[in-house]
Amino acid sequence: MKSYFTHLQCTWCGNEFPHEKPIRTCPDCGKVLFARYNLDAIGKNTSRDVFKDRASNMWRFFEMMPVIDLENLVTLGEGATPLMRAKNLGATLGLENLYIKDEGLNPTGSFKARGLSAAVSKAKEVGEMRVTMPTAGNAGGALAAYAASAGMEATVFMPQDAPLANQLECRALGARLILIEGLINDAGRMSQEMAAKEGLFDLSTLREPYRAEGKKTMALELAMDLGWRAPDVIVYPTGGGTGIVGMHKAFQELQQLGWIDTPQPKFICIQAEGCQPLVKAFHDGEDSAEEYPNASTNAAGLRVPAVFADYIILKVLRETGGTAIAVSDKEMVDAMTEMGSAEGVFPAPEGAATLVGLKKLLDQNFLTGSENVILMNTGSGYKYMDLL
């Protein structure tokens, strides 16, 4: 396998930068950087058919990933999560093709494993062996696990009211856990301060280029599992929004390669009523989202009041014909049981929120009922037993 990763490009000013040295955001404007690949060479030298016969993890797509040397891969078997047809819920809701992508079966129990496998692998490749990160919960556990595997030193900043399971997980996996008063944006400021003071490399959401590359493999798997087609609709619980950013980027790359000939899915952003900066900005017609005041929700992954990649996510929602919906905490918790008892998938409240959002879409006649609809369950309900 060969990597075709060539350079980094700013999503705002378009300037390009080399990837061989540590880099986080655009040095010129401070915005999100994207990894770029020689897609022409990939198309000439690789077939989409090779992926199905490789090891069942996200690194089967190595040619489209940002690590150059296979020796630098830090993997715990992440990816290759099942895409399950939700026949019972589909019959109840009148949907012919409803699916659940169960990311709760990843290492450390959430989709965060994908992003941190990619980010930690690239940090190792560029020689950054002391890393730090703010987290609302699950990402901290994933960083702790991958840093442990890589022999790295990891520091995690987490709100003190984050789920106890996540706190215990970080400590058990060897990370230095620092609990803070406030929300994830407060944790982010402290992480950056610590990075500057102690010479750590900060892996905050979309403030480095590679977590999105791990998340994009969800879209690569969806396309492969659907016979190299994009689904019609992806309903996605959105905190920092790396998944939407990464998946949209992946479908663009697949289109440019000619490996799919279907349009982009409609991306549906689901947020909590108590923390909905993107929902508000979308419906107000804004191109950026203001920090949401007094953010509050029991779904830790959705309690992200300030979204760094807001301008990218809002553009994706509008360009794909998607929308943004807020749901209540009670609706999420009720849907954990509903999804579990109907399909045997035990979702985190964030994942259960997609079912609530789907029902609202149907009430609004946003869907016809014939679309291929994907509910993204981003984590395991086993980390949220206290909510039940």
Examine residue 87 and state whether it is found in any structural domain, yes or no. Answer: yes
- Distance between CA atoms of 203 and 123, rounded to whole angstroms? 9
- Distance between CA atoms of 51 and 37, rounded to whole angstroms? 18
Q: What's the pTM value of the predicted model, to 2 decimals?
A: 0.96
Q: Is the CB of residue 102 less than 8 Å from the CB of residue 84? A: yes
Examine residue 346 and state whether it is found in any structural domain, yes or no. Answer: yes
- Distance between CA atoms of 348 and 106, rounded to whole angstroms? 13
* The residue to which tokens 């954990």 are assigned: 336
Q: What is the pLDDT of residues 157-180, one digit of tens each?
A: 999 999 999 999 999 999 999 999
Its sign, for the CA torsion 193, 194, 195, 196, is positive
Examine residue 93 and state whether it is found in any structural domain, yes or no. Answer: yes
Examine residue 66 and state whether it is found in any structural domain, yes or no. Answer: no
Burial annotation 285-316 (CB, 10 A radius, 16+ → b, else e): eeeebeebeebebbbbbbbbbbbbbbbbbbeb
Cβ-based burial of 384 (10 A; exposed 0-12, middle 13-18, buried ≥19): buried
- Distance between CA atoms of 337 and 223, rounded to whole angstroms? 29
At residue 311, the pLDDT reads: 98
At residue 165, the pLDDT reads: 93
Examine residue 331 and state whether it is found in any structural domain, yes or no. Answer: yes
For residue 207, CA distances in Å to 32, 201, 232, 276 come to: 6, 11, 29, 21
* Confidence category of residue 292, pLDDT binned at 50, 70, 90: very high
Tokens of 260: 């799919």
User: Which residues are within 8 A (CB) of 268 and not within 5 positions of it... i.e. 6 or more apart?
Assistant: 233, 234, 235, 236, 317, 322, 323, 324, 325, 354, 357, 361
Cβ-based burial of 386 (10 A; exposed 0-12, middle 13-18, buried ≥19): exposed
At residue 175, the pLDDT reads: 97
At residue 278, the pLDDT reads: 98
Q: What is the pLDDT of residues 33-83, one digit of tens each?
A: 999 999 999 999 999 999 999 999 999 999 999 999 999 999 999 999 999
User: Which residues are within 8 A (CB) of 222 and not within 5 positions of it... i.e. 6 or more apart?
Assistant: 83, 101, 230, 231, 234, 247, 374
Examine residue 130 and state whether it is found in any structural domain, yes or no. Answer: no
Cα-based torsion angle of the residue sequence 22, 189, 135, 246 in order, rounded to the nearest 10 degrees: -50
Mean pLDDT over 108-120 rounds to 98
Cβ-based burial of 388 (10 A; exposed 0-12, middle 13-18, buried ≥19): exposed
Q: What is the pLDDT of residues 10-30, one digit of tens each?
A: 999 999 999 999 999 999 999
Cα-based torsion angle of the residue sequence 141, 343, 376, 140 in order, rounded to the nearest 10 degrees: -10
- Distance of alpha carbon 338 from the chain centroid: 24
Q: Is the CB of residue 373 less than 8 Å from the CB of residue 341? A: no
* The residue to which tokens 């007094």 are assigned: 294
Examine residue 257 and state whether it is found in any structural domain, yes or no. Answer: yes
| Residue 281 domain boundaries | 83-107+211-387
Single-letter amino acid, residue 75: T
Q: Is the CB of residue 43 less than 8 Å from the CB of residue 49? A: no
Quote the number of domains for the chain. Answer: 1
Examine residue 340 and state whether it is found in any structural domain, yes or no. Answer: yes
At residue 351, the pLDDT reads: 98
* Confidence category of residue 318, pLDDT binned at 50, 70, 90: very high
- Which domain CATH number covers 240? 3.40.50.1100
Q: What is the pLDDT of residues 178-236, one digit of tens each?
A: 999 998 989 999 999 999 999 999 999 999 999 999 999 999 999 999 999 999 999 99
> What phi and psi values does residue 357 have, to the nearest 5 degrees?
-60, -40
